[in-house]
A and B are shown apart, each in its own frame.
Chain A
């Protein structure tokens, strides 16, 4: 599975520009799904028919964070605006890459004090000497993603865009592995999660599932002097209780815990103080939809080096596969 993970994390696909990653995922899942379509917001909606009468919507977002060019100055430097949540601290000195392969470095204006570092004091240097030279390679509105290769440390994996490509990989593997789906499964590789759960919102409206489960990453509390968080790498995928976009439907949480326990899969409970997921949009669709989240613990979220535990990922595939094969009675 590491091959697949490497492919998906390294593919270009910031919010609003998910074409390439969508193409890749389409190729991967075509052999084992019954139907696929792309909706008005670019969501990839795959249907795998099953034995039950209920609809299960699974969501993993394809989009990653990025930076959009808003100005090209006369010396060829680019000004940008964030696409999704970015901290200037994690951008400084980083490399970014545009869809056409152009690479840039993020530099900063002179600062009086380090605490004055804000996103509007940063710029991208693509090595051009003039506005014309720069404009030949990038245009206003072009978006760059982080440029960083996948690293396999054995038990731990590091890459940019583990949020949320690791979930895409998990969903792909679960679709491959599932033998007896207990639902008609709508596996949705969503768009524009990072800018407001937008893809999931319209996809859920179109599908109107009986149950919705998002797969995403979550923070951990297992690094030095970290904020309080009772989730750690290596202790299994999590069953989410709450984040800032939803309070998971208690019946769904119980259901997911039940599936994990029945199948001997180690899992953790998760309360995330700040941060949202596609499930927040799914839960409030139409007359309301029972919703929950399975998260993969991840350190250094929204940096170029997000770290996950490989066993957690494999257990995540197992848990998701069993969920697909167990009917939710709630």
Chain B
């Protein structure tokens, strides 16, 4: 299953090669023209005359860790890649570097702690990755400074419709874009698998500059925290509520015309749909929106619980509804039912 392969792929910001390879393998029968740029964005080109130029974007990168130095004892010090809460790091299994060496992030045994310690957050400076090396020299044989690490989470179906795995933000978006690229639409289509979104929305802007689209649709896996003790107005999105449309996030105010069309299509085809109800956090949409002379943008997301942590969760119903909605929208553009 593509979502499984993408979820399990190794691709922290700045090191997205594995994800690029999975996508190239999956899509080579369907896409004959690819472009790459200086940052590593992977852009599928499916040209069509007489149509607005549509850019679809989904970022390939995930949050992770980077090995920064070796302790004499052979333990590894590390830095965070992207917005990871320090508290999710403790007591986890990671894989490091091109050889995917096993490592663990341990914590002091409870027996050795004073009660007050347990209510305090262990700062990053107090965390190490243990790869079982006996010394610095031993460790240097297995990993290098600058090697990246990701959580060693396996994709698992939890029920008929709910699955868990790492990095649904944004392998869910990548999977949707990949499925779209397997089909043919009568639009001038550029599918951009972007890099380095998590460390500052870096890839999307340069991709948009190169493509110079008339409009753009950004596909994401977004925040969903619809459980206690959050209050309803703090959920952001709900699992099972369908694709989530962004009206505004920290980086962009989405195009009203595009939002209206999505709502219309959802209603007409009985697709559940919701608004993303929190506005913190930016997206690739911001950089694309302000590229050159401006590009109308909409962001459509699959709700995912527990993003930016080792294991996240999504509903395949939401996933499939999102895919269906994007298909309908592209067809609407192709048929002239929707214009900028």
Contact with A along B229-260 (1 / 0, CB 8 A): 00011000000000000011001010000010
What is the distance, in angstroms, from B224's C-beta to the closest C-beta of chain A? 15
Residues of chain B from 107 to 157 with CB closer than 8 A to chain A in the complex: none
Interface of B is mostly: loop
Known: A70-B278, A140-B247, A141-B247. A206 touches B293 (CB 8 A): yes
Whole-angstrom CA separation of A201 from B291 in the bound complex: 9
Among A16, A141, A201, A205, residue most surrounded by chain B Cβ atoms (within 10 Å): A141
Q: Within 8 Å CB of A202, what residues of B?
A: 290, 292-294
Complex CA–CA separation, A206 to B289 (angstroms): 14
Quick check: is A138 within 8 A (CB to CB) of the other chain?
A: no
Q: Which A residues touch B278, using CB under 8 A?
A: 70, 81
Interface string of A50-79 (1 = CB under 8 A from B): 000000000000000000101101000001
- CB < 8 Å: which of B253, B279, B289, B294 contacts A70? B279
- Measured in the bound complex, the distance between the Cα atoms of B275 and A71 in whole Å is 10
Q: How many residues of A contact B (CB 8 A)?
A: 23
Residue A106 lies at the interface, judged by CB distance under 8 Å to chain B: no
The verdict on B177 contacting chain A, using a C-beta distance below 8 Å, is no
In the complex, the answer to whether A141 meets B233 with C-beta atoms within 8 Å is no
B59 contacts the other chain (CB 8 A): no
CA distance A41 to B293 in the complex (A): 8
Contact of A16 with B248 at beta-carbon distance under 8 Å, contacts A70-B233, A70-B279, A73-B232 already known: yes
Shortest Cβ distance from B274 into A: residue: A140
Q: How far is the CA of A186 from the CA of B293 in the complex (A)?
A: 15
Beta-carbon nearest neighbor of B259 in chain A:
A141
Query: Considering the chains assembled together, what is the distance between the CA atoms of A195 and B259 in angstroms?
Result: 20
A201 touching B253, Cβ below 8 Å: no
Inter-chain contacts of B295 with A (CB < 8 A)? 40
Shortest distance from the beta carbon of B160 to any chain A beta carbon, whole Å:
30
Q: Which residues of A contact B253 (CB under 8 A)?
A: 15-16, 192, 195
A83 within 8 A of B: yes
Residue of A nearest to B214 (CB): A40
- The answer to the question of B296 belonging to the interface, with a C-beta cut-off of 8 Å to chain A, is yes
A230 adjacent to chain B (CB < 8 Å): no
Query: How far apart are A290's CB and chain B's nearest CB, in angstroms?
Result: 21
Residues of B within 8 A of A71 (CB): 232-233, 277
A198 interfacial by beta-carbon distance below 8 Å: yes
Complex-state Cα separation, A202 to B293, whole angstroms: 4
Within 8 A of A (CB), among B291-322: 292-296
User: How far apart sit A90 and B247, CA to CA, in the bound complex (Å)?
Assistant: 25
Chain A residue numbers with a CB within 8 Å of B292 are: 202, 205-206
CA distance A192 to B248 in the complex (A): 12
Asked whether any CB of chain B lies closer than 8 Å to the CB of A149, the reply is no
Check: A132 CB closer than 8 A to any chain B CB. no
- The interface residues of chain A lying within 8 Å CB-to-CB of B293 are 39-40, 202-203, 205-206
Q: How far is the CA of A320 from the CA of B69 in the complex (A)?
A: 58
Report the bound CA distance from A41 to B291 in whole Å.
11
Contact A141 B294 (CB under 8 A): no
Distance of B263 from chain A, by nearest CB (Å): 10
> CB distance B279 to A81 under 8 Å?
yes
- Partner of B248 from A79, A141, A203 at Cβ < 8 Å: A141
Asked if B275 and A140 make an inter-chain contact with CB atoms under 8 angstroms apart, the answer reads: yes
Residue among B233, B279, B289, B292 with the highest chain A CB neighbour number at 10 A: B233
Given A192-B253, A195-B253; A79-B233 close (CB under 8 Å):
yes
Closest beta carbon of chain B to A42's beta carbon, Å? 9
Query: Contacts A39-B293, A41-B289 given: A68-B279 contact, CB under 8 Å?
Result: yes
**Which residues of B are found within 8 Å of A39, using beta-carbon distances?**
293-294
A141 touching B275, Cβ below 8 Å: yes
Report which residue of A41, A192, A205, A206 has the largest number of chain B beta carbons within 10 angstroms of its beta carbon: A41
- B253's nearest neighbour on chain A, judged by CB, is A16
Cα separation A39 to B159 with both chains bound (whole Å): 48
How long is the Cα–Cα vector from A83 to B279 in the complex, in angstroms? Answer: 10
Query: Chain A contacts of B290 at CB under 8 A?
Result: 41, 198, 201-202
Please give the distance in Å from A289's CB to the nearest CB on chain B: 15
B125 smallest CB distance to A (angstroms): 30
A198 partner residues in chain B, CB cutoff 8 A = 289-290
Chain A 176-216, CB within 8 Å of chain B: the 1/0 string? 00000000000000001001101001110110000000000
How many Å from the CB of A44 to the closest CB on chain B? 13
Q: Which of B146-199 contact A (CB under 8 A)?
A: none
* Of B232, B248, B253, most A-chain CB atoms within 10 Å: B253
**Cα distance, A203 to B275, chains bound together (Å):** 29
Taking the nearest CB of chain B, how far is it from the CB of A67, in angstroms? 11
Instruction: Give the shortest distance, in Å, between B93 (CB) and chain A (any CB).
Output: 36
Minimum distance in angstroms from A175 CB to a CB of chain B: 23
Contact present for A140 and B294 (CB under 8 Å): no
Q: What residues on B are CB-neighbors of A83 within 8 Å?
A: 248
Query: Which partner residue on chain A sits nearest B251 by CB separation?
Result: A196
CB neighbours (8 Å) of B289 from chain A are 41, 198
Q: Which of A139-166 contact B (CB under 8 A)?
A: 140-141
CA distance in complex: A15, B252 (Å): 11
Closest to A43 in B: B294
Residue of B nearest to A70 (CB): B277
Q: A16-B253, A141-B259 are in contact. List 16 more A-B contacts (CB 8 A).
A: A40-B294, A40-B295, A40-B340, A41-B290, A68-B247, A68-B248, A70-B233, A70-B278, A71-B232, A71-B233, A71-B277, A79-B233, A81-B248, A140-B275, A141-B247, A206-B293
Q: What 10 A-B pairs come out closest when comparing CB atoms?
A: A40-B294, A202-B294, A141-B247, A16-B253, A71-B233, A206-B293, A41-B294, A81-B279, A79-B233, A140-B275
Listed by A's residue number, 12 A-B pairs whose Cβ atoms lie within 8 Å are A16-B253, A39-B293, A41-B290, A70-B233, A71-B232, A140-B275, A141-B248, A192-B253, A196-B251, A202-B292, A202-B293, A203-B293
Residues of B in contact with A (beta carbons under 8 Å apart):
232-233, 247-248, 251, 253, 259, 275, 277-279, 289-290, 292-296, 340
